Chains A and B, each alone.
Chain A
Amino acid sequence: MNQKSADLVNVTELNASNIQQLVDAMPVGAMVADEAGKIIQANTELEHVLGYKQGELLGSDIKNLLPEQFRSNHHVLMSQYLKSPQKRQMGVGRELYALRLDGTEIPIEIGLNPINVNGELRVLMTLVDITSRLQAASMFKRSINAAPHGILVVDESGKIKFVNPTLCCYFGYAERELINQTMEMLLPNRHRGDHHKLRASYCSDPDVRMMGVGRDLTALHKDGREFPVEIGLSPFEDGSNERMVLVTLMDITERKRMEMSLKEINKNLEEFTYVASHDLRSPLRGISDLLEWIKEDLGENIAPAILNNVDRISVRIHKMETLIENLLAYARAGKETTEIEQVNVDDLINGIFELTQLPENFKLEKDITINTLETTKTPLETILRNLISNAIKHHNADSGVIKISCHSEKNMCHFSICDDGPGIPEASHDRIFRLFQTVTSSAKDSSGIGLSVSRRLAETHGGRINVENNKNKPGATFNVWWPRFIRMDNHD
């Protein structure tokens, strides 16, 4: 075995003490073996990984570190390596195991480095226990397989490299029917033609994003049926530095169905609004006219009992009309306004007070730290006007202070309207927002619609509203949280 002259030319030359230091300093398990396979150096990390005491490995044959079934062939592989030694990984593509002293086997990775120690060929071996890495990989794989959404991995040429069971289930294919097929098979025919161009443009500038935002994406089931999907893309490089795309896919059939049924319900509600606005009003108008004419025909000499009843009918007709108007107002409050404009908060409040006069001896205090809002002005204005007019209308004294504040709070704009009136009994805080409810029985010309309309408007436009009694002083404060930013969803 005297081949040093030829083979050691390209091999790093080290002396024995250097090699000891080198091996000891390595952060992974390492050892040096001679051409016969005898271990002449080993570091503590290696001893630890394989369960040996210090120095116990020295002088033993590396064969002892192999599980039984790999031993017989090992000397062949070793002598092949020694004929042309070079730095490389051992057993690429195969799973390697080491035998610990206690007889257990662990998965490992081994690096081989030929070195020249004082003119002799030696092999420096590094050994890494990959148990936890394999566990992580298998955990990852298990969670991908158990994911509630479909996952597939596609390479740069569009070939399917991996699918999870959910994806197979969505599409009705078995895994083997998909692997190594081009992914276009999952698209409806009409989208296949140009898809490779889209793929190429994605690959030239890959990023993590949703696919086809704003468009309705559909996928093709094995049985030819199309179903609506949502798709997320994220690029990654696999173990061999191939560029891949991880595609997550959600079957949104059920959601689409619910959207459709919601649209249907909204349409019916609009229909109802129309019926209420016309079909209920017309006959009421007729009744009112007829009553008027009866009064005219009866002339001056009308019996007081009849007149009394005629008047009672009148009152009820008015009430009925108010109810219809309120129902309409409430129904309309559920319809989202989409007209966006620049709103100056201070101007908005001042505008409300131009129409809703502050009584004499009442004071207005403003604390507004938001300048302008890009929002739907009408519903916001309606809410604030309702709350401000309530604060004035329900005040129980001849003088008072109304405080209005507006501050930003995360992505919301927080308005508060604080009065020093009688306050609202705690028990009624929920009830006052319901349709046709008022706190006082006298209900000074209030229809009990303002607050329920306000709440509906707020919720329809992504905001909310509540009431609290002031602490340690009379009066109540109504809070309105209104979105500072426009929601872009739902606007199609």
Chain B
Amino acid sequence: MIKELSVLLVEDDDVAAESVMRSLKKVSPEIHIITAENGRVALDVIKNKIPDRLITTPYIVLLDLNMPVMSGHEFLEEIRRSDEYRDIVVFVLTTSDDDRDRSQAYHHNIAGYMVKSAVGPQFSKLSALLDAYRKAIELSPR
């Protein structure tokens, strides 16, 4: 049995988080989504320190950048520094199209950077990307 891909969604805005969840569920109703409201909570989640938000591999992280307590950039810095979590696949999902944000994020080995437009349909690309990623995991021997 192939494990279903999980998603850790790190987003401080509850509406934005719900919006992502709704879009993902439309494409993959079975998808397991865990949310964290900032980078600090997300770190606790990947360390499985929060009993009601346990996460299992394989999973990917969808990361907002501008968040209180611990920003997306700080979260990336933390996990890329640790031996255990440096390989986690992270996609940045943000409203910022600032070049500095983009290059700083890519500097921390992110798998992709998606700019949310303020309005209009989106996430179709994200869903396609998740699909492709899931297939890649299925093909890989691990």
Chain A contact residues, CB within 8 Å of chain B: 273-274, 277-279, 281-286, 288-290, 293, 317-318, 320-321, 324
Contact = CB atoms under 8 A, between A and B. Distances in A.
Contacts of B15: 285-286, 289-290
A285 B95 contact: yes
B118 interface: yes
Interface in B80-100: 94-98
A317 B119 contact: yes
**Chain A CB within 10 Å — which of B97, B116, B118 has the most?**
B118
Interface of B: 13, 15-16, 18-19, 22, 65-66, 94-98, 116-120
Given A273-B98, A274-B98, A286-B13, A281 B19 contact: no
Nearest to A290: B15
Contacts of A273: 98
Contacts of B19: 285-286, 289
The 8 closest A-B pairs by CB, nearest first: A286-B15, A281-B95, A321-B118, A288-B119, A278-B96, A289-B19, A284-B118, A281-B118
Contacts of A284: 118-119
Contacts of B65: 278
A335 to B, nearest CB: 10
**Chain B CB within 10 Å — which of A279, A285, A293 has the most?**
A285
Contacts of B119: 284-285, 288, 317-318, 321
A278 B118 contact: no
Given A277-B96, A290-B15, 15 more contacts: A277-B95, A278-B95, A279-B66, A281-B116, A281-B118, A282-B16, A283-B13, A284-B119, A285-B16, A285-B95, A286-B13, A286-B16, A288-B118, A289-B18, A324-B118
25 contacts: A274-B98, A277-B98, A278-B65, A278-B95, A278-B96, A278-B98, A281-B95, A281-B118, A282-B16, A284-B118, A285-B15, A285-B19, A285-B116, A285-B117, A285-B119, A286-B13, A286-B15, A286-B16, A286-B19, A288-B119, A288-B120, A290-B15, A318-B119, A321-B117, A321-B119
A113 to B, nearest CB: 82
A179 B123 CA distance: 77
A97 to B, nearest CB: 77
- Where chain B touches its partner, the secondary structure class is loop
A283 B117 CA distance: 11
B29 to A, nearest CB: 16
Contacts of A278: 65-66, 94-96, 98
A424 B4 CA distance: 62
A290 B14 CA distance: 11
Contacts of A274: 96, 98
Contacts of B96: 274, 277-278
B59 to A, nearest CB: 24
A93 B94 CA distance: 83
A288 B22 CA distance: 14
B122 to A, nearest CB: 9
Nearest to B95: A281
B12 to A, nearest CB: 9
A277 B117 contact: no
Contacts of B118: 281, 284-285, 288, 317, 320-321, 324
A282 B15 CA distance: 10
A176 to B, nearest CB: 56
A169 to B, nearest CB: 45
Nearest to B122: A285
B97 A277 contact: yes
**Chain B CB within 10 Å — which of A279, A286, A320, A321 has the most?**
A286
Nearest to B65: A278
A117 to B, nearest CB: 93
Contacts of A321: 117-119
Contacts of A317: 118-119
A296 to B, nearest CB: 9
Contacts of A277: 95-98
A324 B18 CA distance: 24
Nearest to B97: A277
A314 to B, nearest CB: 8
A290 B19 CA distance: 9
B126 to A, nearest CB: 14
